[in-house]
Amino acid sequence: MSQRNVYLSMIPLEQAREITLREFGSVTSKKEEIPSSQAVGRVLAEAVMAAASSPPHHVAAMDGYAIRAKETFHASESHPVFLKEMENAFPVNTGQVLPGDSDAVVMIEKVTQEEKGLRLEAPVFPWQHVRKIGEDIVATEMLFPATHEITPYCIGALLSGGVRSVPVFMQPGVLILPTGSELVSAERDPALLRPGEVIESNSHVLGRLAESCGGRWTAAPPIRDEVDLLASQLEEAALREDVDIILTVGGSSAGSHDFTRTALEKTGNVLFHGITMMPGKPVVLGKVCSKPVFGIPGYPVSAILAFEELVRPLIRSMLGRPVIHRKKCTVFLSRAIPSRLGLEEFVRIRLAEIAGRTIAAPLPRGAGCITSITEADAILRIPANSEGLATGAETTAELLRPIEEIHNTLLVVGSHDNALDLLANHLKPMGIRLSSAHVGSMGGLLAIRSQSCHMAGSHLLDPSDGSYNKNAIARILPETPVYRLHLAVRIQGFIVRKGNPMNIRRTADLLRPGLRFINRQPGSGTRILMDYELQKNTIFPGDIEGYDNEETTHMAVAAAVLSGSADAGLGIAAAARALDLDFVPLTPETYELIFPAELMQTPQIQAVIRILSTKTFRESLKALGGYTIENTGKLTGPERTPPEKT
Ligand SMILES: Nc1nc2c(c(=O)[nH]1)N[C@H]1C(S)=C(S)[C@@H](COP(=O)(O)OP(=O)(O)OC[C@H]3O[C@@H](n4cnc5c(N)ncnc54)[C@H](O)[C@@H]3O)O[C@H]1N2
Ligand code: MOO
C-alpha cells in the first residue's frame, strides 16, 4: 500500500506568515543597475539623488518677451513704457533660456507693437513668468528613497533630474514546478484530452501573480508523480543562482500520489505542513539549500489564496515593501454562511448595491472552481472560531474589484437561461456588469423578497390557468409591487443521448420499462412544468423510474444523461447542445425578469429595458435558436402600486 501523508500539525495563517517572513523575508542583497526608462514597477535598492537641476537654467514660462523688470516699474495706462526689440526686449518662447540679464517675461498678449517700440501699460514683477533654475528639481537633492517603487510618473522625475540609470533590487526569481501525472501543457488542444488529463493552468496564474508583486518567473513542464523525480528537480532548482523561491504546485495534501512533503524531507526540511485556512489547507513550506519551497495545493482557488496570503507578502518583503491590504466595505448577507470551526474560511462573494445597501451573496465554495474567484467581487474571511454568519448579518468584506464596478452591477438571481449571457454581453459596453446566480425560479422570487437581488429570472407555470409567474408572485411577494419584463418564450424538452436511442418522443414514453429519468429539484420552474406534463397526461409520478432523483441545473441534468446514469431529463436545448446530446422539443414556456417597482429607475434596470427593445438584441436572441421573441421587452405590472415612501 502506498504511504499517505497526514498534515504535520495545522497552524494558523498568521503563524504561517510569521514563519515564512522570519525565515526568508529579509531584504534581498541582489542588485542591478537598469535604465531609468525601463524601471517601472521596480524597487530602488538605494536612494537616488538628482544629477542635474530642472529646469537647468532660468527659462521662460510663457511665450513673449524677456525683459528687465525694473525697466517697467513705472508703466501705466497713462504713461506706457516702450521697449525696443533686441535691445531691452528679447522674443522668447515657453521653455527657452532667458537671454542676458533679463529677469522677467511679459506675455505676448500684454504688449502692442507701435512705431515707438513695444508698448507696455503695466509694470512687470521680477521673475514674473520665469521658471527659475532648479524650480522643480535641485541637483544633489534626493529624488526617491531606497525601497521606493518606480511608477511611470517617477520616470519623468528621474530623466529630468539627469538620472539615466537606477540601482534596483533584482526581481526575486520564482520557479514554478507543476506536479501531477495527469497534467498536460495548456498548449494542448483541449479537444484531444484523454479522460483524466487536466490542463496545467496554475503555473500561468501563479507566474503572473509573481510578476504583479515584483517577481520574475519561469515554469518547468509538469513533473510526473514520482517522489525521486520531484526531489531531484527540487535540489537542482535550489542550486540555481537565478532562483530565489520555488513553488511546487499540486501534490501537497494527503493523497497516495501527493509527494511534495516527502520530497522536501529528502532534500531539505519541512517548516510547516497544513494551515487552518480553507481553501489552502494543505500548504507546505520547506527549506532546501536555504531557499524557500512552497508546496502550493493543486486546486486553483487554493493555489491563488496560498499565493496571496504567503508568497505575495514574502516577495514584497524581499523587496523591502510592505504588504498591501485589500480595500474593505460593509456588506449584508443575502443568506447564511455556515463555516467549519477550526478553519479560517475565505468565502468568495458577489456584491451588488440594492436599495442603498451592499448585499453579499456567497458563491460556490469548491476550491476546484476557478470561476468562484473570477466571478467574485470580494472575499469574506470567517475566523476559525466562528461557526458562520446568519442571513442579514452585517460584516466586512475585502474587495477584489473597484467599488464603482460594484455600484454598476446588476444582480440577477433565479433560473438560468442563456439569454442572460447575451444580455450580459449587451450590458457590458454600457458599463454595466451582469452578475447572475442560478438558484431556480422560486429562489429568485425569494431573493426579491429579501431585497437581495435586482431582478429574478423566473418561469413558474401555474397549471390551473396556464399563466406564468403571476400567481407565484402574488403568493410569494404579496407586499412587494413588481414589474414583469418578458425576456422570451423558450422551448423545454427532453435531453436524451445522441441519436435518441430510446426513441423518446412524448411524455408518456417516460413510462417505458428500463428507462431512467432524471428530475429537477422542487421549486424549479422546470420541475413544475414536468409535474404539469404528468398531470396533463394522467401519469402517476411514482410510475416513472428516477422521478425522485434530482439535479439542480439544466447542465447537471444533461451531464447525468451524458454519463449514462439517466436516459432522459427535462431541460433547455442549450444544455443538450453544450454536451452534444439530442433534444426532443416538448413545450414552450415563458421566461420573465421580475423586479421590484421601487427599483424601476435604477440605471441598471433602465438599461435592461432599453436593450430588450433593440432590434440587435432581439435578433441575436433569435439566432441562439429555441426562442420566440414576439413579446421580448414587454413590461407588465405592477399589479399593486408601491407604498408611498415616508
Ligand atoms: N484525504 C484528503 N484529501 C484531500 C485533503 C485532505 O486533507 N485529505 N485535502 C484536500 C484539499 S483541502 C485540497 S486543497 C486538495 C489539493 O491537494 P493537492 O495539493 O494534493 O492537489 P492535487 O491532488 O495534486 O490536485 C488537486 C486538483 O487540482 C488539479 N491540479 C493540480 N495541479 C494543477 C495545475 N498545475 N493546473 C491545473 N490543475 C491542477 C489536479 O488535477 C486535481 O484535480 O486536496 C484535497 N484532498
Ligand atoms: O482547503 Mo483545500 O485548499 O480546498 O480547499
Ligand 1: does its nearest atom lie under 6 Å from the Cβ of 120? Answer: no
Please tell me the distance between residue 13's alpha carbon and the centre of ligand 2 in angstroms: 13
Question: Grid coordinates representing 57?
Answer: 537654467
Amino acid at 568: A
Mean pLDDT value across residues 613-626: 90
Q: How far apart are the first and last CA of the chain?
A: 72
Task: Give the per-residue pLDDT at 2.
Answer: 45
480 lines ligand 2 (CB under 6 A): no
CA distance 166 to 152: 14
Site to probe by mutation for ligand 2, drawn from 7, 281, 345 as the one with most ligand atoms within 8 Å of Cβ, is: 281
* Ligand 2 in reach of 354 Cβ (< 6 A): no
> Vertex 417, ends 599 and 565: CA angle to 5°?
140
pLDDT at 523: 80
User: Which residue pairs from 276-279 have beta carbons closer than 8 angstroms and sit at least 24 positions apart in sequence?
Assistant: 276/10, 276/11, 276/12, 276/13, 276/342, 276/343, 276/344, 276/384, 277/13, 277/305, 277/309, 277/343, 277/344, 277/345, 277/346, 278/340, 278/343, 278/344, 278/345, 278/346, 278/367, 279/305, 279/346, 279/367
User: Cβ distance 93 to 47 under 8 Å?
Assistant: no
Chain segment 322-368, per-residue pLDDT in tens: 988 999 999 999 889 999 999 999 999 999 999 889 999 999 889 99
Ligand 1 centre distance from Cα of residue 299 (Å): 5
- In 3D, which of 95, 10, 22 has the Cα closest to residue 60? 95
Report the pLDDT averaged over residues 273-291: 96
Span 368-380, average pLDDT: 95
Residue 3 predicted with pLDDT over 70: no
- ipTM over 0.85? The verdict is yes
Residue 630 Cα to ligand 2 middle (Å): 48
Nearest CA, atom 2, ligand 2: 279
Give yes or no for residue 348 CB within 6 A of ligand 2: no
Is 299's C-beta closer than 6 angstroms to any atom of ligand 2?
yes
The CATH architecture that domain 329-398 belongs to is: Beta Barrel (2.40)
Cell numbers standing for residue 621: 436572441
Mean predicted confidence (pLDDT) in 47-66 = 96
Question: Ligand 1 centre from 189 Cα, in Å?
Answer: 23
**How far lies 422's CA from each of 434, 575, 619, 628, in Å?**
10, 15, 11, 15
Distance 275 CA to ligand 2 centre (A): 10
Ligand closest to CA 5: 1
Please tell me the number of the ligand nearest to residue 181's CA.
Answer: 1
Quote the ligand 2 centre to 196 CA distance (angstroms).
20
Per-residue pLDDT, 646 = 47
Query: Residue 511, SS3?
Result: helix
User: For residue 630, what pLDDT band results from cuts at 50, 70 and 90?
Assistant: very high
Between the CA of 254 and the centroid of ligand 2 the distance, in Å, is: 12
3-state secondary structure 233-281: HHHHHHHCCCCCEEEEECCCCCCCCCCHHHHHHHHCEEEEECECEECCC
Q: Which atom of ligand 1 is nearest to the CA of 203?
A: 35
Q: Tell me yes or no: is domain 35-52+138-163 CATH 3.90.340.10.
A: no
Average pLDDT over residues 378-399: 96
HEC assignment per residue over 535-588: HHCCCCHHHCCCCCCEECCHHHHHHHHHHCCCCEEEEEHHHHHHCCCEEEEEEE
DSSP per residue, 34-87: EEGGG-TT-BBSS-EE-SS-BSSS-EESSSEEEE-GGGGTT--SSS-EEE-BTT
> What is the 252 CA–ligand 1 centroid distance (Å)?
7
Q: Which ligand is nearest to the CA of 300?
A: 1
DSSP 282-321: T-EEEEETTEEEEEE-SSHHHHHHHIIIIIHHHHHHHTT-
Ligand 1 pocket test, pick from 253, 256, 281, 301 with the greatest ligand atom count within 8 Å of Cβ, gives 253
Where does 59-131 sit in CATH, by number? 2.170.190.11
Ligand closest to Cα of 370 equals 1
pLDDT in tens, 475-521: 999 999 999 999 999 999 999 999 999 999 999 999 999 999 999 98
The structural domains of the chain, with segments of one domain joined by +, span: 13-26+172-318, 35-52+138-163, 59-131, 329-398, 442-636
Which protein residue has the closest C-alpha to ligand 2 atom 4? 279
Q: Among candidates 36, 30, 20, 47, which has minimal Cα distance to 323?
A: 20
Q: Is the CB of 571 under 6 A from ligand 2?
A: no
CA–CA gap between residue 200 and residue 248 (Å, rounded): 13
The backbone region for 180, taken as left when phi is positive above 0, alpha when psi lies in -120 to 50, beta otherwise, is: left
Is 626's pLDDT higher than 90?
no
pLDDT attached to residue 228: 94
For ligand 2, whether the C-beta of 339 sits within 6 Å is no
Confirm or reject: Cβ of 279 under 6 Å from ligand 2.
Answer: yes
Ligand nearest, relative to CA of residue 257: 1
Report the percentage of the chain scoring pLDDT > 70: 97
SS (H, E, C) 146-198: CCCECCHHHHHHHHHCCCCEEEEECCCEEEEEEECCCEECCCCCHHHCCCCCE
Residue 562 has pLDDT above 60, yes or no: yes
- Relative to the alpha carbon of 305, which ligand is closest? 2
Looking at residue 93, its amino acid is N
Q: What per-residue confidence (pLDDT) applies to 253?
A: 83
CA 368 to centroid of ligand 1, rounded, Å: 8
Is the pTM value of this prediction over 0.90? no
- Test site for ligand 2: of 13, 249, 278, 372, most ligand atoms within 8 A of the Cβ: 278
Q: Return the ligand 2 atom nearest residue 343 CA.
A: 1
Ligand 2 binding pocket includes 297 (Cβ within 6 Å): yes
* Ligand 1 center–CA 312 separation, angstroms: 21
Instruction: Give the DSSP letter of residue 590.
Output: E
Query: 280 CB under 6 A from ligand 2?
Result: yes
User: Is any ligand 1 atom within 6 A of the Cβ of residue 182?
Assistant: yes
Query: What does pLDDT average to over the chain?
Result: 93
C-alpha cell at 549: 432523483
CATH class as words, domain 13-26+172-318: alpha beta
- Which residue's CA is minimally distant from atom 5 of ligand 2? 279
Residues 176-218 have pLDDT tens digits of 999 999 999 999 998 889 999 999 999 999 999 999 999 999 9
Do you know the residue count of the chain?
A: 646
- State the DSSP code for 404: H
Nearest CA to ligand 1 atom 8: 254
Please answer whether residues 302 and 279 qualify as being in contact, where contact means their C-beta atoms are separated by less than 8 angstroms.
yes
Q: Is the pLDDT of residue 642 over 90?
A: no
CATH class of 442-636: alpha beta
